[in-house]
Amino acid sequence: MIALKSFIKIKEAVKLYGIGKDVFYRAIHSGELKAYKPNGRDFLLKVIEIEQWIESKPV
């Protein structure tokens, strides 16, 4: 997938990838996925890291 942004908010990731926000929060809190809070409020995720995380979860 080609993304126009390097970072996206969790709510954008939910819409883009069809994965529930609770799944993203669990992955962040377990250390599977890195999150960034540059403004101290919103979690931002790197698109490339989301895609690598998804690819590391084969069925």
Query: Residue ranges of the domains in the chain?
Result: 7-55
Q: Is 49 helix (H, G, I), strand (E, B) or coil?
A: helix
The mean per-residue pLDDT over the stretch 34-54 comes to: 94
Q: Residue 11 and residue 29: Cα distance in Å, rounded?
A: 17
The number of beta carbons lying within 10 Å of the beta carbon of residue 47 is 19
Residue-wise pLDDT for 7-43, tens only, equals: 999 999 999 999 999 999 999 999 999 999 998 899 9
Q: What is the pLDDT of residue 1?
A: 55
Q: What is the pLDDT of residue 4?
A: 74
Q: What is the pLDDT of residue 14?
A: 97
